Structure 1
Amino acid sequence: MSEDKSRLRDAATIILAREGREGPEVLMGQRGAAAAFMPNKFVFPGGAVDREDGAVPLARPLNPRCEALLSAWPQETVLPGLTASTLAVTAVRELWEETGLTLAQPGVWPVSAAKDWEKLAARNLLPDAAGLEFVFRAITPPGRPRRFDARFFLADATAVTGDTDDFSDAQDELSHLQWIPLRRVRAFDLPFITEVVLAEIGHHFDGRSRDEGVPFFDNSGPKPQFRRIT
């Protein structure tokens, strides 16, 4: 039986940011024209949780506040046994696959690494979740060819192992990988939800404090709702 790709799937997206010549900038790439989900759009690295992600060890765990927020609003649609740590692993893996950049620390794998992690394991690197901040959650509206319950993480590029401009290990899932200044990012062809995310997390880049919780664009029911996870 073929997989129903329109069913809701858990996912993680990572917003990698750094300070550039024009101020804060974020790493994005363009999806292919033939992609079933958001063709031609510029997006952050991200994708669905793989079942193998739950068995991947972390060099350093999520900070307690981040883990608590990720666990604060369970949904019936999540994978059985899904944990905050698994979502963090997915975010690191997607960054690695789509850009070739690694959020990792030296460490020894206690078991054989799954295929997606073999190169990192060969370099004695374990994924590192300590620098991830949970900043947004969004569920894709019904009726789309692909639907995701996506958690967005923000990470500073200083946590990357290696050169943040070297995309040579990327697996070609995204094209035109580039660092885009925030002041110019809205000139690109962005998905609606990406524009919402950028508007909501602006305070993370300009130093303003915000304790209202994590924004959650919830399309799990018959009517969309905008919530706050606290």
Structure 2
Amino acid sequence: MAVNELRKPVLAQQGTLKKRIRPRDAASLLIVDRSGDELRILMGKRHMRHVFMPGKFVFPGGRTEPADGRMQAIAELSEQDRTKLLDDMAGRSSITRCRALALSAIRETYEEAGLFLGQRTEFSNVSHPDWAAFAERNVMPDLSALRYFARAITPPGMPRRFDTRFFLAFREAVADSLPEQTGPSQELEELAWLSFAEALELDIPDITRIIIREAQGLLEANPSLDPGNPVIRYRLKYGRFVREVI
């Protein structure tokens, strides 16, 4: 495992914390449109009512729910991606949790962007109300379209902390979409497909900027997103935010 320290130190503010907040599992999905002359990714602006990063442009994503791991899928994660997720869970690994992380990225993409990633087929017996829209449209999630490529843990001292896994998928994996071009949660506004250069010009969190560049580098090295790519992890270690290759 290779480790690089980022130049800017991050203060943990351990002494000022009244309560140590444990990061919650979360997932985020970068959808890549490769139909034009240059690659484009989907981003949206977080509503100003949000306590966490209001007004910032981000990818679709959010907290992982336990029920996500019990959702049906028409195809599972590649063996390589599943192994990377399991190996990166620090003693809390399970196939169900692994699936929940990947499936929550798909669910949150529907809730925030109105996009259904999967394949057409009839199915029922959904395990979460938010998955009912997939069954109604006969779109079963397809985990094989996702590639796990990055992880970032919010440093201590923040009002909310997330242990976020980032996935990549091509736009061809989108089987259907809502006509209003937004998700039912309406958490993201101004959804747009942007080039990497355009995305980097937006008002985005530092970690989002880092993840965009990691995705750009991965796609340059592996344009077809074949399984088996390295996973990049960002976390606080000895008072500094470090980049690890796992």
| 1:206 shift after superposition | 2.6
- The number of residues matched between the two structures is 225
The match for 2:241 among 207, 224, 227 is: 224
- RMSD over equivalenced CA pairs, Å: 2.7
Change (3 A) 1:26 1:14: same
Residue identity opposite 2:71 in structure 1? V
Structure 1 length normalisation: TM-score? 0.86
Q: How far is the alpha carbon of 1:55 from its aligned partner?
A: 1.4
Match of 1:17 among 32, 56, 64: 32
TM-superposition CA deviations, 1:136-182 (whole Å, max 9, x none): 10000111111110000000001111369961554311010111111
Which residue in 2 is equivalent to 1:61? Answer: 76
Matched, 1:33 2:48: yes
Identity, % of aligned positions? 32
2:200 matched to which residue of 1?
Answer: 186
- Between stretches 173-182 and 122-131, larger displacement belongs to 122-131
Query: Is the CA contact (8 Å cut-off) linking 1:22 and 1:181 kept in structure 2?
Result: no
Distance 1:82 1:143 in 2: 30
1:214 aligned residue: 231
Amino acid at match of 1:147: R
Counterpart AA for 1:50: E
**Match runs of 1:100-115 below 5 Å:** 100-109=114-123, 111-115=125-129
Deviation, structure 1 residue 128: 1.0
Which residue of structure 2 aligns with residue 198 of structure 1? 212
Q: 2: CA distance between counterparts of 1:201 and 1:106?
A: 28
Q: Is 1:151–2:165 an aligned residue pair?
A: yes
The residue number in structure 2 matching 1:136 is 150
The answer to which of 166-175 and 121-130 deviates more is 166-175
- Structure 1 residue runs of 5 or longer lacking an equivalent are none
Q: Does 1:172 align with 2:189?
A: no
Tell me, in whole angstroms, the C-alpha distance in 2 between the residues paired with 1:72 and 1:154: 19
Distance in 2 separating the partners of 1:220 and 1:104:
37
Equivalent residue number for residue 93 of structure 1: 107
Q: How much does 1:203 deviate?
A: 2.6
Q: CA deviation at 1:85?
A: 1.3
Residues 115-130 of structure 1 aligned to structure 2 (within 5 Å): 115-130=129-144
Aligned partners of 2:237, 2:65: CA distance in 1, in Å? 21
Counterpart of 1:84 in structure 2 is 98
What CA distance in whole angstroms lies between the structure 1 residues aligned with 2:229 and 2:241? 20
Tell whether the 8 Å contact from 1:42 to 1:188 is kept in structure 2 after alignment: yes
Instruction: In structure 2, give the amino acid aligned to 1:225.
Output: V
Q: Equivalents in 1 of 2:127, 2:184: separation in Å?
A: 19
Contact 1:26 1:179 in 2 (8 A): yes
State how far apart, in whole Å, the 2-side matches of 1:194 and 1:82 are.
27
Distance change >3 Å, CA 22–CA 39, structure 1 → 2? farther
User: What's the offset of the Cα at 1:185?
Assistant: 1.4
1:106 deviation in Å? Answer: 2.9
TM-score, length-normalised on structure 2?
Answer: 0.81
Decide which moves more: 203-212 or 142-151.
Answer: 203-212
Tell me the residue number matched to 2:86: 71
